[in-house]
Structure 1
Amino acid sequence: MRKPHKPKDWRWLLHRALSLVFSRTVVTIVLVLAQAFWLFSLFYWLGDYSRILSRMGLGLSALMCLALVRQDSTAPEFKISWMILFMLMPVQGGLLYLLWGDKRPAIGLRRRMERAEAELAPLRTGDAAARAELQRRDPRLAETADYLQNYAAAPVFGGTAAQYYPVGDVMLPDMLADLRAAQHSIFVESFIIGMGEMWGQIHEILRQKAAAGLDVRVIYDDAGCLSLLPHNYVDLLRADGIRAFSFNRCVPVLNLVLNNRDHRKIMVVDGRVAYTGGVNLADEYINKVTRFGHWKDSGVRLEGPAARSYANVFLTFWRAHFPDEALDYTALLPEIAPVADTGGTLVQPFADSPVDREVVAKNVYLEFINQAQRSLRICTPYLILDNDLLTCLRLAAKRGVDVRIYTPGVPDKKTIYQLSRSYFPYLLKAGVKIYSYTPGFLHAKTWLVDDRAAAVGTVNLDYRSLYLHFENSTVLYGGEVLHDILRDFESIESASRQIGLKDCRNGFLGSMLSACLRLVAPLC
């Protein structure tokens, strides 16, 4: 006989409520909003009280407007959205832009990153034979590889085996096995780390390896882990012998720095094996916890010289935060012997940063769209397109390319979900096919161009990923791994519902709502 449900004790409920109300996340958000309200109220009141202050506010808005117009690397949509805010709030608009609008990182972070990049980028040595092989196979893709080499210090490699994972559940066992086999170093960088089975197993291995004398380092994003980890978690890791820091600490102060987040997912073992993709280190990413239905993600394992590139990217970020630390690059970035069986794949890992004034990931995506000859398949959890990407996707479909975009059926953020769907009519009318993954949330960021190239990484199709965040991805040229990626796309499509125009907002009110959402999209 089933026992009747026993209601929870009121003291337990009170404790839970107080824990939520006084959690670091809630306190930070409340204090930031309070500061914003106070600043704008004060600015507004002083503007009414004094003509001089009012004119100063207008002057600040005019200066910020000119600064925005002057930026050549900023999307026109972003400029237009801020121009509208300047018109609606001519006194407060400049202050708002000064506090939140500039997409470049704070000066201190920017300078540290530039110095670290100048120090470590020359150590990213490429593979001349791989570049020559790519030129022989596909001269146009070789030009894309040259762009990444010249503007992102990202060489192309041969001698590297690439294994694709269609879901985090499958990737974790291999990841744990490689961590247990580590002999010299382990580098872990993740946007999200959450307490649970996945991180618990990884943390225990890291603790054991650090105790055995290995060089173990961890970087996580403070905002990504704001509600998931204790505020002093870095100290707890260091107590285990693990070197660690949390990027861009969330302090309850309204400032520009909060914009830039470390969205990368990198794990490197001995400089020889690397993992990346969309999978963060928390239980929903391996479907041990159900949040938005089945969590569909993707990842890739690299074994060989290309893994060393990700070690370099990790250490560049580390160097920017610890510029005075003595680093033995010979030990941390060892020469890696090529792997015999690569399946014919050439590999090019790259990182993107808001520091370099080059929208690297967006340009790679544009290259893929423009080079597609027969088919283009895209997995993305968010579909928030600027004019360049929207125009190129529509043009690709109009010139006969079979363009298919796969999006979540169950949203994690309802507003962003509705914003993504506001682009559907424009794409559908051009002939783009759109699919909604009905079992749950599609978090993969995977691209496949014909049977020629693919990209697996962390970069979403939204303004934050393309302009604000530190990101990374791996371009895969040819080889057997592309067949695995294609099979995964076919599996996604079989579990998805194709979207038609009838599923979109076509009425007056619906289309107006979609237009308003797209207007504020660059500010999200």
Structure 2
Amino acid sequence: MKKEELKENVRGYAQKFEDGGLRLLKKGQKGIVHAIFSRFGLVLVLLLLQVGLLFSIFRWFGNLLPHYFGGSVVVTAAMVVYLLNSKMDNSAKITWMVVVAILPVVGVPLFFYVKSNAGHNLLRKRLMELENTLRPQLPQNREVVERLRRAEPGAASLAKYLHGPGGGFPVYENTAMTYFPSGEAKFAELLRQLDTAEKYIFVEYFIIDEGLFWGRVLEILARKAAEGVDVRVMYDGTCEFSTLPRDYPKRLEALGIQCKVFSPVQPFVSTHYNYRDHRKILVIDGRVGFTGGVNLADEYINHVEKYGRWKDAAIMLEGEAVRSLTALFLEMWSVLKEPEFEAFLADPIPVPEHTQGTAAPYGDCPLDGERVGEMVYIDLLNRAREYIHIMTPYLILDGELETALKFAAERGVDVHLILPGIADKKFPNALAKTHYSALLDSGVKISEWTPGFVHAKVFVVDDREAVVGTINLDYRSLYHHFENAVWLTNAPCIRDIEEDFQATLEQCRTVENNPKSIWQGRFLFRAVGMLLKVIAPLL
């Protein structure tokens, strides 16, 4: 398509918000009538019919249980032995044992259905192929690791893991790192950097929603596409449930923007709904990259209010470490096409002035058997000497991570968590509070941010290491989602991260180790949390 035609499409599609921003949805597009009669409505109906059919089958078998009680006891015992000898996390083992023991007719086939990962074997095979192709494109500079080893041997061991079993992600020097303590701060710099694009812009986000934030970004993307810049956008298929219509990729393509949807909504019950692309990556010309908790929607910059004020965090990289962010995007983009790693990763990256420290962007894939996000968090907890300060929106822990938090506090480390004062989801919030008492008993400090919802995913350790990314402290992030983050060592912005933690802490209430402080008199809420904890790994 010629530049003149692209510009004409931009003029044809653009409808201005009163506050500025490109809008592609027509008025009423998100209404109830549209939801019912759209393709999404049909998909939802088909899904509900399949779920109803499955439960009807299970219920029919359930009525036969009295006649086959002896058989169910044998099956349950066999499943317990099988689960005890499986490689899954201990918390998941306990959950499945409870499910199988209470509802063997439902629990046994459900377990093997989930374990089979129906529909994802081809995706797993393809991702492993891409990872093997990608690894040679991301070599590790041994001198960088040697300097890191001399400064901090423990950090060098983590670097070895990330470039080995962790997925082949190097540690880089020659990178400037800028921390943003809010979505508003990222928004302003993101717009400025997008205007500098000359070759390509890669955008991969879990949530995109039309409004001021996305509208302003889309205006620049459309203009850059009309100028000949290679613009690609990828978002998770759950957006089709809530924020964007099914044909949104076509609307972007009419503006000259390539668009893909990861795991779009399909009218079939499948375990693929477990695996979502929760990453937030934006790369400009391979020299500037953004990541963190901030999605492309207005609540993330407090332009609209959801759950009080919204507290988030992000980071911008400039220099060599951006190569891994580019690689992460290309890996997901290439699932259904030939990879383009050499075309975008071979060129040298300009090194900005005044660089210090190291940065290691990394990804976490739920299909490769490595819990990279959790392993990085546990390693930081085990190596912390003075403090480890954490901001997270959710706290649904497996046994290993809870033990690491408690052990760090018990050996004298200042372990302090900031969680939301106003939660966005009631059930995860109830589950989070079930962990409070055990953590507080061990000396872990817990605070809740009273102005609203904390969505930042940040670890900062001893003024020398930090992680900023998309990885929550819950089963969804640690086991089921495609995630990404950046591990930093000895960078100047680590001081900024700790200052942000302390500034956020000033607006928090301290949680004491008693039911009144933890549950605030909500007895039913407490009961819900205790019940949900039994099946926490399945949520």
Same fold (TM over 0.5): yes
Alignment of 1:334-373 (within 5 A): 334-342=347-355, 344-373=356-385
Contact kept, 8 Å, 1:347 with 1:476, in 2: the verdict is yes
What's the counterpart of residue 109 of structure 1? 123
Q: Is the 8 A contact 1:312 1:333 kept in 2?
A: no
For residue 489 of structure 1, report the CA deviation from its aligned partner: 0.4
Q: 2:444 aligns with which of 419, 423, 432?
A: 432
Kindly indicate whether residue 110 of structure 2 is the aligned counterpart of residue 96 of structure 1. Answer: yes
Q: Say whether residues 1:444 and 2:456 are aligned partners.
A: yes
Structural RMSD (CA): 2.8
Offset of residue 477 of structure 1: 0.1
- How big is the shift at 1:28? 4.5
| Aligned-residue offset at 1:218 | 1.1
Aligned to 2:212: 197
Asked if structure 1 preserves the Cα contact closer than 8 Å seen for 2:205 and 2:280, the reply is: yes
Q: Distance in 1 between matches of 2:412 and 2:49?
A: 53
Amino acid at match of 2:404: C
Structure 2 residue 486 is matched with structure 1 residue 471:
no
Matches within 5 A, 1:92-491: 92-100=106-114, 106-151=120-165, 152-323=167-338, 327=340, 329-331=342-344, 333-342=346-355, 344-491=356-503
Per-residue deviation, 1:56: 11
- Tell me, yes or no, if the aligned pair for 1:124 and 1:153 is still in contact at 8 Å: yes
Retained in 2: the 8 A contact 1:308–1:333?
A: no
1:87 match: 101
* More displaced stretch, 34-43 vs 302-311: 34-43
User: Cα deviation per residue 1:158-181 (whole Å; 9 max; x = unaligned)?
Assistant: 000000000010111211111111
- CA 1:442/1:50 → structure 2, altered by over 3 Å: closer, same or farther? closer
The answer (yes or no) to whether the contact 1:264–1:458 under 8 Å persists in 2 is yes
| Deviation for aligned residue 1:211 | 2.0
The whole-number CA distance in structure 1 between the counterparts of 2:93 and 2:161 is: 27
SS of residue paired to 2:104: coil
Question: How much does 1:306 deviate?
Answer: 0.3
Q: What is the CA distance between 1:511 and its match in structure 2?
A: 6.5
> What CA deviation, in whole Å up to 9, does each residue of 1:458-485 have, x standing for no partner?
0000001001000000001012111100
Q: Distance in 1 between matches of 2:490 and 2:119?
A: 36
Give, in whole Å, the separation in 2 of the partners of 1:362 and 1:103: 21
Give the match's secondary structure for 1:95: helix
Q: Judging changes above 3 Å, is the alpha-carbon distance between structure 1 residues 426 and 315 closer, same or farther for their aligned structure 2 residues?
A: same
Shift in Å, 1:103: 6.6
Could you list the runs of 5+ residues in structure 2 that have no partner in the other structure?
Answer: 1-26
Corresponding pairs, count: 508
Residues 396 and 473 of structure 2 are in contact (CA less than 8 Å); yes or no, is this contact kept in structure 1? yes
CA distance in structure 2 between the partners assigned to 1:300 and 1:424 by the alignment: 29
Q: Deviations over 1:388-445 (max 9, x none)?
A: 1111111111111111000000110011111111111111111111110011100000
What SS does the aligned partner of 1:108 have?
helix
What residue in structure 1 maps to residue 7 of structure 2?
A: none
**Aligned partners of 2:323 and 2:345 also within 8 Å:** no
Measured in 2, the distance between the counterparts of 1:211 and 1:514 equals 52
8 Å CA contact retained: 1:86, 1:93 = yes
The structural deviation recorded for 1:105 is 7.1
Contact 2:76 2:101 in 1 (8 A): no
2:440–2:446 contact (8 Å) kept in structure 1: yes
Question: Which deviates the most, 102-111 or 460-469?
Answer: 102-111
Give the CA deviation at 1:18. Answer: 3.3
Could you tell me which runs of 5 or more consecutive residues in structure 1 were left unpaired when the two chains were aligned.
1-11
CA contact (8 A) 2:98 2:534 kept: no
Q: Decide whether aligned partners of structure 1 residues 56 and 286 sit closer, same or farther in structure 2, where only a CA change above 3 A counts.
A: farther
Contact 1:261/1:470 (8 A) holds in 2: yes
Change (3 A) 1:120 1:253: same
CA distance in 2, matches of 1:155, 1:370: 22
Alpha carbons of 1:121 and 1:226: their partners in 2 closer, same or farther (altered >3 Å)? Answer: farther
Deviations 1:131-183 (A, max 9, x none): 12211211111111111111221100000000000001011121111111111
Change (3 A) 1:242 1:404: same
In 2, the alpha carbon distance for the partners of 1:328 and 1:148 equals: 19
Question: In 1, distance between residues paired with 2:74 and 2:317?
Answer: 53
Amino acid at match of 1:340: E
Q: Is the 8 A contact 1:61 1:91 kept in 2?
A: no
State the one-letter code of the partner of 1:113: L
Report the CA distance shift for 1:27/1:59 in structure 2 as closer, same or farther (over 3 A). Answer: farther
Deviation per CA, 1:104-150, whole angstroms, max 9, x where unpaired? 97101111111111111210123333212211211111111111111
Q: Deviations over 1:470-523 (max 9, x none)?
A: 000000101211110011001110011111123125999886654322212111
The residue aligned with 1:6 is none
Measured in 2, the distance between the counterparts of 1:389 and 1:276 equals: 24
Among all aligned residue pairs of Structure 1 and Structure 2, give the percentage whose two residues are the same amino acid.
40
131-140 vs 499-508, which deviates more? Answer: 499-508
Q: Are 2:427 and 2:529, in contact at CA under 8 Å, matched by a contact in 1?
A: no
Instruction: Give the whole-Å Cα distance in 2 for the aligned partners of 1:482 and 1:319.
Output: 34
